[in-house]
Amino acid sequence: MENSETQQGHDHEEKEHFDSDYDEGDAVLARGWPRNHRNLVKHGFRPVWTSQEGYPEDEIPADIQEWLDENGQRRSAEIIGPLRSLAWLAGLDELVQAIDHPAYVIEDDIEVIPFGVGLLWPLNRREEEGTVPPTIWAKASGNNPTVVSSPFVTTAPSTTPAAIKGSLETHSLRDLYPASRAQASDHVKCVKIRFDKNINWLEADIRKLVGAPLESENLWFRGLGLNALESTLALFIPERTSHNSDNELGPGFYTASTLQYALEYVRIGGAVMVFKDPALHSTKVWELDSQPWTAWIARWKHLQLAIAHDPIPGEYRTADFIKGAISSRGRELGRGVPTPSEVTQLVACSYEGCKALRDSLEMIIFVERA
């Protein structure tokens, strides 16, 4: 019994050392796995809710609870917590300092991190809005900073086209977005709805409003901001996000199998593109499961695992689509072997794949800011 307790204490000491909370932020960013979320309070940060462990204290704060359902869950999210805490976990110490500094206007908002994306994913939206300093965005994304005259430059938020109403109607994409180059059917169903932090209620409201079209089989969903929607309608192409951790299956045009997961990407405003029955029968689909899935995720997330260096499968070189589960970090938030979540992603990784999605665009659901 004494040996067991000694071993447990030794394991705990090794774990504390392995967590490396005191590593410099740049080292944390470079190593690819975060600081220990269980030690947030010890270092002066608010705790976060995780899908594996819930909230670490008896009472969930109201600003986190409002993003959860009545059972304290959110099926499509892996982490929920303050931006300041997430920045520390990820190693972006400059963002922590900016949030704390009175000269900046970066709000320490509660952020929702869906499965399969990095802890700094909320900065994508803030960069699009122009509310994150270019130097901080450059470090977070690995890109060169944008040349601007002031570190506080902001952009006007995009708005839902005036023609879109609260009932499902068919519209010409070129009327809504003149730069649209959709070449199959130019007409799609559109509707708008008000955002709700409770994602279950938001999805239920959408399904009640839209009705039968969302009951069809083989639907795929893509949530995005309004600026990104306009760019996407101009040119459907495989893309690569700045964050390696957000390219789970490699560069491509990502869609998800559930509406709820796509809604995580609209935050408090944006749109969900709905694709119906894309022509998978006439394109090449590489379906990933088990060992190939784990190895492919590890490769594109740059995990320190031997399988990340497995030979490139021949199926990848000719695939138009890659299909596989969205990953979950598991209990250790990304330091071990990734595990599949319950949500599937379909990724167009060739121009033929993107064309198939473009031709299957059925609906756009606009979600307006609260």
Which tens digits make up the pLDDT trace of 129-188?
Answer: 777 888 887 787 765 444 443 434 444 557 899 999 999 999 999 999 998 876 656 899
Q: Has residue 158 been placed in a domain? A: no
Distance of CA 148 to the CA centre of its chain: 27
Q: DSSP per residue over 136-181, as a string?
A: HHHHHHTSPPP--S-TT---PPP---TT--SS-EEEEHHHH-TT--
Do 117 and 181 lie in one domain? The reply is: no
Do 103 and 27 lie in one domain? The reply is: yes
Tens digits of residue pLDDT in 282-337: 999 999 988 899 999 989 888 878 888 999 999 999 999 999 999 886 655 555 67
In the predicted model, what is the mean pLDDT of residues 338-356?
92
Q: How far apart are CA 8 and CA 150, in angstroms?
A: 53
Q: Has residue 148 been placed in a domain? A: no
Q: How far apart are CA 106 and CA 84, in angstroms?
A: 10
Q: Has residue 204 been placed in a domain? A: yes
Q: How far apart are CA 78 and CA 189, in angstroms?
A: 31
What values do phi and psi take at 303, rounded to 5?
Answer: -80, 150
Check residue 6 and give its pLDDT.
41
Do 193 and 319 lie in one domain? The reply is: yes
pLDDT at 7 over 60: no
Q: Has residue 163 been placed in a domain? A: no
Under the banding of pLDDT at 50, 70 and 90, the label for residue 202 is very high
Structural domains of the chain, count: 2
Do 205 and 324 lie in one domain? The reply is: yes
Among 90, 124, 141, give the residue marking a domain's end: 141
Q: Has residue 281 been placed in a domain? A: yes
The proportion of the chain whose per-residue pLDDT surpasses 70, expressed as a percent, equals: 84
- Where are the strands (E) in the chain, listed by range? 49-50, 77-82, 110-114, 169-172, 187-194, 219-224, 253-256, 270-276, 285-287, 321-328, 339-348, 361-368
In the predicted model, what is the mean pLDDT of residues 86-103?
89
Q: How far apart are CA 349 and CA 343, in angstroms?
A: 19
Do 173 and 118 lie in one domain? The reply is: no
Q: Has residue 150 been placed in a domain? A: no
pLDDT at 120 over 70: yes
Do 224 and 346 lie in one domain? The reply is: yes
Q: Are 329 and 301 in contact (CB under 8 A)?
A: no
Do 202 and 309 lie in one domain? The reply is: yes
Predicted TM-score (pTM) of this structure: 0.80
Do 207 and 256 lie in one domain? The reply is: yes
Do 305 and 196 lie in one domain? The reply is: yes
Check residue 312 and give its pLDDT.
93
Q: Has residue 151 been placed in a domain? A: no
275: Cβ–Cβ under 8 A, 6 or more apart, which residues?
219, 220, 221, 222, 255, 357, 360, 361, 362
What tokens does 5 get?
A: 């307790």
pLDDT at 12 over 90: no
- Which residues span the domain enclosing 183? 169-368
Do 216 and 361 lie in one domain? The reply is: yes
Do 198 and 279 lie in one domain? The reply is: yes
Do 293 and 178 lie in one domain? The reply is: yes
Q: Has residue 156 been placed in a domain? A: no
191: Cβ–Cβ under 8 A, 6 or more apart, which residues?
164, 165, 166, 167, 168, 169, 209, 210, 363, 365, 366
